[in-house]
Amino acid sequence: MSALVATIEGVGFWTTGLPAWDSARDFVREGRLPEAPPARPSPQLLAPNERRRAPGTVAVALEVALAACEVAGRDPASLPSVFASTHGELAITDYMCATLADQPATISPTRFHNSVHNAAAGYWSIGTGATAATTAISAYQATFAQGLLEALVQLATGVPAVLLVAYDGPSIGPLGKVSPSAGLLGGALVLSNRERAGATRLAATLTDGDAPSTAGPLAARDAGNAMAQMLGLFDALASGDQHATLFAGAGRILQLSLQQTGVERRG
């Protein structure tokens, strides 16, 4: 296939111990960790009560999505979005399975509505007032690559800009044995089809091949999370590398080329 291209206008990032993209870049470049980082994201889009009740996956998705929009200078309400998660909220899924098996009448309606795979996308739409199309996608270990492809295809069809949000949390109980995931991890990109001074221009090509194992600092640090598949790109962005390769399915890879742009062109 021909390369799909986009400008990365904004980046958001959060993982335990690295609660922002600036701290992630410092870690990649200097091995430095912030002092006393927060234990959990606190997305300001939500009212305080909702913020406390929201699952960790929703909290991290909203945190990184808003950060990416702020860096890009984009109104969140104006952007179509793609929310990519391998598992959704497995802790709630485990709770629901156990409750339905033992005491089905006691299941919590609040926790039930947080179990759906598009819960984070729903919170985002409500919190920002966004009415543009949103997509929730899962493709197991190829989830991030397929989410990025979806966002790039939307740009190729004429959408001016799109928000990509990727996230996963820990899995517990019996599901943790068959779908392991540890920690809380989220990343977001605002992608556009215009060049922008100082921004990174991304070109992606889907082809046959096997993805190499990623060895960057972020990929090594959060290898246990189900969304660790995204970290090859984030390591490259943080270090200034010009290439990254993502697993895109059995025998398929997404090859990424990254170049800094020096001149802003609007169109």
Specify the pLDDT at position 73: 96
Poorest-pLDDT segment among 43-52, 57-66, 180-189, 223-232: 43-52
pLDDT surpasses 90 at 143: yes
Q: What is the pLDDT of residue 70?
A: 97
Does the pLDDT at position 264 exceed 60?
no
Residue 126 pLDDT exceeds 80: yes
Tokens read off for 119: 């819960």
Mean pLDDT over each residue of the chain, to the nearest integer:
91
Answer yes or no: are the C-beta atoms of 245 and 265 closer than 8 Å.
no
* E strands present in the chain: 4-15, 81-84, 134-137, 161-168, 185-192, 200-208, 243-249, 252-260
Run of H or E including 217: helix 217-221
pLDDT value of position 52 = 76
pLDDT > 90: what percent of the chain? 69
Provide the token pair at 19: 């609660």
Per-residue model confidence (pLDDT) at position 263: 46
Kindly state the average pLDDT of the residues 197-206: 94
Residue among 190, 186, 200, 240 at smallest CA distance from 11: 190
Beta-ladder partners of 83: 136, 165
Confidence category of residue 196, pLDDT binned at 50, 70, 90: confident
Tell me what pLDDT residue 265 has: 43
- Looking at residue 165, what is its pLDDT? 98
Looking at residues 226-253, what average pLDDT do you find? 96
Q: Which carries the bigger pLDDT value, residue 94 or residue 209?
A: 209
Average pLDDT value for residue range 245-265: 86
Q: What is the mean pLDDT of residues 50-60?
A: 86
- In this prediction, residues 24-43 reach a mean pLDDT of 92
Lowest mean pLDDT among 4-8, 123-127, 157-161, 163-167: 123-127
User: What sign does the dihedral 115-44-190-217 (CA atoms) show?
Assistant: negative
66 pLDDT exceeds 50?
yes
Confidence label for 262 from pLDDT (cuts 50, 70 and 90) = low
- The whole-number pLDDT of residue 1 equals 64
Which residues fall within 8 angstroms of residue 8, CB to CB, at 6 or more apart?
189, 190, 191, 199, 200, 201, 202, 237
Tell me what pLDDT residue 46 has: 83
**pLDDT for position 96:** 83
Cβ-contact 33, 20 below 8 angstroms: no
Question: Which of 22-26, 50-54, 78-82 shows the lowest mean pLDDT across its residues?
Answer: 50-54
- pLDDT exceeds cutoff 90 at 149: yes
- Assess whether pLDDT exceeds 90 at residue 178: no
- Please give the Cα distance from 123 to 118 (Å, whole number): 9
Q: Could you tell me the domains of the chain?
A: 4-260 (3.40.47.10)
